[in-house]
Amino acid sequence: MAKKTYLQALNEALAQEMEKDQSVFILGEDVGQFGGCFGVTQGLFDRFGEGRVMDTPITESVIVGAAAGAAASGLRPVAELMFVDFIGVALDQLFNQAAKMRYMFGGKAKVPMVLRMPQGAGIGAAAQHSQSLEAWFMHIPGLKVAIPSTPYDAKGMLISAIRDDNPVVFLEHKLLYGVEGDVPEESYAIELGKADIKREGTDVTVVATSRMVHSALEAAEILAKDGISLEVVDPRCLLPLDTGTILDSVRKTHALVIAHEAVGFAGPGAEIAAQVAEKAFDYLDAPITRVAAPFCPVPFSPPLEQAFIPGAGDIVKAVRALR
Amino acid sequence: MSHSKEIMVKMYTTMNRIRMFESMLQEYFAAGKIPGFVHLYLGEEAVAVGACSCLTDRDSITSTHRGHGHLIAKGGDLKLMMAEIFGKSTGYCKGKGGSMHIADFDLGILGANGIVGGGGPLATGAALAAKYKKTDDVTICFFGDGASNQGTTQESLNMASAWKLPVVFVNENNGYGISCPQCKSMAVTDIADRAAAYDMPGVVVDGNDVLAVHEAVGEAVKRARRGEGPTLVECKTYRWRGHFEGDACTYRCTEELNEWMAKDPIPRFEEKLVESGLATAEELEGVKAAVKKELDAALEFAQSSPLPELSALLDDVYA
Amino acid sequence: MSLAAIVANPASGKDIRRLVAHGSVFDNQEKVRMVRRLLLGLERAGVERVLYMPEGYGIVPRALNAIRPAMAVDALEMPVRNSQEDSIRAAEIMETLGAGVVIVLGGDGTSRAVCKGLARMPVLPLSTGTNNVFPFMLEATVAGLAAGLVARGVVDREIACVRSTALEICVDGEPVDLALVDAAVYEDVFVASRAVWDMSKVSKLCLTRCRPDSIGLSAIGGQLELIRPEEPRGLAMDLGENGERVVAAIAPGLFEEVGIVHREIMAPGRLYPVGHAPCLIALDGEREVAVRSGSQAAIRLILDGPWVVDVGRVMEAARSRGIFVRETSAGRDFRPIRE
């Protein structure tokens, strides 16, 4: 199997779906000739033309809303916002329009759109270009929230997201774009809402998302040397959330650490912790622990930014504290 | 402008369907029979009817919180609308949407909207879809004077014009954004002036003259079908009722209301139809009687329909 | 006291000809700036008081937000109905109160409304509308100066003005309306969006003036005859499929070829019947009068139309008398020097 980066995997997913289905098109800021802010749509403009890879004005509300309107009219748009942080100016079109159309209209609307948004800190982009906002989207019935951690997952999940008849928020971590992994050439789909056990283990379950999956795997290596066996569960999708896989793991290991880059307070881990506390409390031998960013905006200066971002060391510390 | 008897009488009929539908809601809301709240379209009938009479079933509209008129003018089923507004399971949205969230995708009704300014981007997207699919379908985006100050509306005008999308922005300027008069909310009198900023035609018409609206929107629709891009048609009109039923309307005076009620679009049209010999007064009375019957049936349907089963609560969150 | 008057129409320059032709959008902010310059011109000419028509937007009050001219500027006391009737009524009141000139900001339609309310007060129409055959495209500063000199009587009306002819519309023997430039018989029954652009529906056209360099319906006659506004004759044409073909700019950016089946010079006072009813009569480019079936309508050229200020002639009179020339500086003296 060929090694590809996360970015190449996403690019390949887009190209394959556009090849297969004429109703799929891309819109967003600088997604055309420029190839997208981080290069995800590179080459697609030349291949599919400006009719299917559309450079929009800087107009996030209309990018999201026009995607919703076009989706409701029978197309499958893939919209890109340069940074998840920009969703603030477009949020109404996502959570009041796209997400609610089907329910409000009694099941008659279909809104098959994907909204791709890079998130995460680590490139010195500071407070308005570095957040991890997945918890916002998890709170909205009608949306799906995909947050792949590997190139393999990125491709298969993006293909699924495009084929899904619901609005899918697709969150990519900027620092993952360059990560390499095995990615098949052919098209394949990974069902949204199915977690993946990235490493099997017996002692502690670590539920990690996005870039923190890699930190969790790193922590697992470190702790293995001490004879501590981590099971790393990647939900891959936060909405729907595969609670079954998480609960099964916890019932096996009796301990849970949740790791994500979003701030801890009311972050995605709060929901995961609540689910486990409600449904598997008796299996827990220790309190649930969360490894997450501190409750502050993402700082700019490199040492501060590094202090903000949780990492493998924090997971190791959290696991050791359990024992 | 084509004015066959058939089209003209149909427009007259639709205006009366809206008028009587809304009057019925007014009555039943006051009697406590309708849950939630309703925003009535009384007095603005000429805009919806003049505009939608330029469209076919393949064309789309996006509507507003004051949407009943648009939906009826686009062919919405009175029974299903009435049942929805009464919160019944037989309604358009199985009682999930209510007054502000009725849609009928088969008729190109992409939904009323509870968010002021919410429809612009959606209409832009629907028009983008028509262009993408290489059809000559057109979308009308209805929006109010209040919505014209929202960024979403201005952004939609901009992108629709930059991309020459087949959308007609029909502004219903009724002078008030809830209680705030236009003179306090914007420094211009004519929303149509804003079209120039996006290099699209902007036209002001008498929104209480159904034929003036029909003619202007008709030309704009033709332009859109030819691929020449969007148009902004501002229709000056007035809502007879408050922003919502129950609004005491302390922010406006009776004289103003009376002045506008004297410009009631329905008798104005009636007079023209009779004067021009396209219809007799008796025929038009017959139209009203038939509409009344239709509405009685819609009301009966709504009232006798069951409320939704509680088991339906979680249905249709996802496709 | 020298008194000038302003009618600025906030509704002009916004009709459907921006959609079916390529008319400019004349936004009200531009009218505000024009009135500002107009007021400064009137002030410089020594006018002591200005009256204006109140309207919904407040063009004149907004103009005063940025300038403080040394004269009283007052709104007429009248109800605002936001219709043509406002302009007619305002013109009547202004003349009654003794204004020496009325400056109109609008298109042909606004000018027509004002002139309907006038008896002898001179009018200076400035173009802020669509076709603008009657109103002038002029810099408002100079228009204000000239209007001020007329208002103060510094330049005599006979020198300053041209008396234009007009068209009177009669239905069943009664005069019902007035056109300044053109009256067109329009084969339709609904006024709808008012403007005229579908020439296939125009069966008859009467003109008070013909110039080859004009725009609008009168441009058609302008390719055939030359008739000045003050000449005691007009042009009546029957339009149809046959006959000589004329190409003319009937609206901004909109050329049409029309067939002229018959044409004749109109004699003053004579009634030219419109033909069959029902139909509409469009006045100065706007569908206006509905002629019901069974009614008899006719168009007549009248000689006692409005007195129209000719800015060129006023300013030439001022120059020849050296009104704005002096030997030494007098500081901020707003009065003309030699009167």
Q: Which residues contact C118 (CB under 8 A, 6 or more apart)?
A: C91, C92, C95, C102, C306
In a domain, A111, yes or no: yes
**Cβ–Cβ gap C16/B223 under 8 Å:** no
Out of A183, A214, A237, pick the residue that ends a domain.
Answer: A183
d(CA C43, CA A98): 59
For C25, half-sphere exposure in the C-beta direction (CA atoms, 13 angstrom radius) is 21
Q: How far is B205 from chain C (nearest CA, A)?
A: 7
pLDDT in tens, B255-283: 999 999 999 999 999 999 998 889 999 99
Domain C-terminal end among A148, A183, A218: A183
Strands A204-208 and A230-234: parallel
Tell me whether residue A188 is in a domain. Answer: no
pLDDT digits (tens, 9 = 90+) for C242-267: 889 999 999 999 999 999 999 999 99
Q: Is residue A191 part of a domain?
A: no
Which residues sit opposite B209 in a β-bridge?
Answer: none
What is the distance of C-alpha C78 from the center of its chain? 22
**CA B78, B82, B85 angle in degrees (round to 5)?**
140
For residue C1, what pLDDT is reported?
Answer: 86
CATH number for the domain that contains residue A276:
3.40.50.920
For residue C56, count other CB atoms closer than 10 A to its CB. Answer: 16
**Considering the domain boundaries, does residue A159 fall inside one?**
yes
> What mean pLDDT comes out for the span C313-339?
76
The closest CB to that of B272, out of C15, C20, C190, belongs to C190
Say if residue A174 is in the same domain as residue A240. no
Let me know: does A28 contact A56? Beta carbons within 8 Å. yes
* pLDDT tens digits, A173-228: 999 999 999 999 999 999 999 999 999 999 999 999 999 999 999 999 999 999 99
What separation in angstroms does the CA of B106 have from each of A12, B92, B202? 35, 12, 30
Give CA A176 to chain center in angstroms.
11
Which two structure tokens, joined as six digits, stand for A224?
């293995």
Is A173 assigned a catalytic role? no
Neighbours of chain B (3+ CB pairs under 8 A): A, C
CB pair distance less than 8 Å for A96 and B118 = yes
Q: What is the pLDDT of residues A63-113, one digit of tens each?
A: 999 999 999 999 999 999 999 999 999 999 999 999 999 999 999 999 999
Q: Which chains touch C (3 or more CB pairs under 8 A)?
A: B
At A173, which CATH number?
Answer: 3.40.50.970
Domain boundary assignment for chain B: 5-306
- CA-based nearest distance C14→chain B, Å: 5
Residue A286 sits in the same domain as residue A264: yes
Residues paired with residue B170 on neighbouring β-strands, in sequence order: B142, B233
State which amino acid sits at residue B299: L
Whole-number Å distance between alpha carbons of A199 and A249: 11
Q: How far apart are alpha carbons C161 and C312 in whole angstroms?
A: 10
The owner of tokens 């510094």 is: C154
Active site annotation includes A139: no
**Whether the predicted pLDDT of C82 surpasses 90:** no
Query: Do A83 and A232 fall within a single domain?
Result: no
Predicted interface score ipTM higher than 0.85: yes
Q: Do A167 and A78 fall within a single domain?
A: yes
Of A12, A17, A29, A129, catalytic: A129
Paired sense of beta strands B231-236 and B167-173, if any:
parallel
- Best of A61, A76, A78, A87 to disrupt the B interface by mutation (most B CBs within 10 Å)? A61
All residues of chain C having their beta carbon less than 8 Å from the beta carbon of residue B12 are: none
User: Cα–Cα distance between A219 and C147 in angstroms, integer?
Assistant: 88
**Domain B5-306 part of CATH 3.40.50.720:** no
- Measured CA to CA, the distance from residue C117 to residue C93 in angstroms comes to 9
A259 Cβ under 8 Å from any chain B Cβ: no
pLDDT > 60? residue C332: no
| A167 and A227 together in one domain | no
**In this complex, is the C-beta atom of A18 within 8 Å of any C-beta atom belonging to chain B?**
no
- Active-site residue among A12, A60, A80, A134? A60
Total domains in chain A come to: 2
Residue A215 forms part of a structural domain: yes
Alpha-carbon distance C28 to C13, whole Å? 9
pLDDT of residue C330: 64
Tell me if residue A266 falls in helix, strand or coil: coil
Q: Is residue A190 assigned to a domain?
A: no
Contact B189 C192 (CB under 8 A): no
Instruction: Please indicate, yes or no, whether residues A212 and A308 belong to a single structural domain of this protein.
Output: yes
Are the CB atoms for C65 and C41 separated by under 8 Å?
no
Average confidence (pLDDT) over A29-53? 97
pLDDT at residue C305 tops 90: yes
Q: Which domains does chain C have, with CATH numbers?
A: 3-164+306-332 (3.40.50.10330), 166-302 (2.60.200)
Number of residues assigned to chain B: 319
Q: Is residue A177 domain-shared with residue A266, that is, in the same domain?
A: no
E-strand stretches of B266-316: none
Question: A110 and A169 in one domain?
Answer: yes
Task: Mark which of A150, A183, A216 sits at the end of a domain.
Answer: A183
Averaged pLDDT for residues A46-73: 98
pLDDT digits (tens, 9 = 90+) for A268-284: 999 999 999 999 999 99
Is pLDDT of C215 > 60?
Answer: yes
Q: Are residues A97 and A160 in the same domain?
A: yes
Residue A224 inside a domain? The answer is yes
Is B30's pLDDT higher than 60?
Answer: yes
Indicate if the pLDDT at residue C106 is higher than 80. yes
Domain that holds residue A50: 2-183
Question: How is residue B40 written in tokens?
Answer: 């009535």
Helices (H), chain C: 17-20, 28-44, 59-63, 84-96, 108-116, 140-151, 157-160, 218-222, 311-320
